[in-house]
Amino acid sequence: MTASMSKPNVQDRLQRRFQRWDSDDSGSLERSDFEREAASIAQRMGVSTQQAAPLKKALTAMFDDIARDGGANPAGPISRAEYDRAAEVWMGHDENVIRQRMRPMVEAIVSMADKDGSGTIDRKEFVAWISAVGAGDGQAGDAFDSIDTNGNGSLSADEVLQACVDFHLGRSTFELL
């Protein structure tokens, strides 16, 4: 286990993520779990199936990445051990791996949250997104300020991606997804 993977909060976060994705409580991850996650996020954010299509594509691609990186058959379920092996690949080496794997999902979420079509998320859109997905909405204002690293009052997909990477690597406490 690498140093970044041995942090207790990182292991706890991986466990919570596995349980969240395992929507049918089968003890393994199936492609349908990721499809349900996309539909659930879209519903909570109040977007159409068409608007959510990029998120569904990103999440099912993430399933394929986890299967491949964990040594599982992409046609079958992913066990917890295979998920943990994929997490080692994603987080145990170069941060660019997790960034690459998460980028399509983050870009899809940013697009769904960007109600005014500006290409970024303003504070109001951010608070609405966080409230819709139930991810720490009481801290949304403070989180927005810390994620807005260039201080321009809006969040780019790159800033949101960095915040997601920081959370999963144990460098931040605010969960966005």
β-strands 78-79, 28-29 pairing: antiparallel
pLDDT tens for each residue of 1-34: 444 444 547 778 888 889 988 988 999 999 999 9
Closest CA to 38 of 28, 19, 18, 23: 23
pLDDT tens for each residue of 83-93: 999 988 887 76
How many angstroms separate the CA atoms of 3 and 130, rounded? 30
Confidence tier at 126 by pLDDT (50, 70, 90): very high
For 3-168, give the CATH class. Answer: mainly alpha
- pLDDT attached to residue 93: 67
Closest CA to 155 of 119, 131, 102, 128: 119
Q: What is the mean pLDDT of the chain?
A: 87
Closest CA to 160 of 132, 120, 133, 125: 120
- Alpha-carbon distances, residue 24 vs 19, 115, 146 (angstroms): 9, 31, 35
Domain boundaries, the chain: 3-168
- pLDDT attached to residue 28: 96
Q: Please give the model's pTM, rounded to 2 decimal places.
A: 0.85
